[in-house]
Amino acid sequence: MGAPITIFRLFRLRPCGRELLVRVERPAASNADQGALDGADRFADAAAERLRERWERHLKPVCAHPHTSSVVAEMQEDPVGDDLFGPGRRTLAVWVAQTEYGAPWTVLGTAATEAEFWQRVRLDDALVGLGALAPAEPHVVHFLTDTDTDTDLPAG
Ligand SMILES: [Zn+2]
């Protein structure tokens, strides 16, 4: 069996530019079984979509216009910093760096400064392997995870 994979996916809403970062688990699947791999992908995609739809519903009182969304960043390795391993339902400042593999592949995470972000990226072989490209851009995102409950979701 291939191990489960933690996926971070950043959505941007138009026209307002609000951003939602979701963390979902792609279940373990046999690397020898393409059907199982596709099923695991669909499971993770559906979980991410549920979180996006839930967030858009909760945004209605503060941002009533219709939204369209697109995926602007994705990462399937452990990010920089501890914040993104914790609970969601909060607003976070994250650094997002493009990679040599092109959109939407990015290296992202939390750090007090961009210099600290790069310092931590360079100490992590898995992150170095993603080919991150400077500069990292600061984003303020709403963060939700597939382990958050549906109650009291802030609409920020
Ligand atoms: Zn909006």
154 Cα–ligand 1 center, Å: 14
Strand 137-145 with 19-26, pairing:
parallel
pTM over 0.85: yes
* 3-state secondary structure labels for all residues of 103-142: CCEEEEECCCCHHHHHHHHHCCHHHHCCCECCCCEEEEEE
156 Cα–ligand 1 center, Å: 11
The predicted-structure confidence for 74-99, as pLDDT tens digits, reads as follows: 999 999 999 999 999 999 999 999 99
Please give the Cα distance from 88 to 86 (Å, whole number): 7
Please give the Cα distance from 82 to 7 (Å, whole number): 15
* Confidence tier at 154 by pLDDT (50, 70, 90): low
The pLDDT of residue 56 is 93
38 Cα–ligand 1 center, Å: 32
Please give the Cα distance from 91 to 80 (Å, whole number): 16
The predicted-structure confidence for 23-75, as pLDDT tens digits, reads as follows: 999 999 998 999 999 999 999 999 999 999 999 999 999 999 999 999 999 99
CB 22 within 8 A of CB 48: yes
The predicted-structure confidence for 8-34, as pLDDT tens digits, reads as follows: 999 999 999 999 999 999 999 998 999
The pLDDT of residue 149 is 74
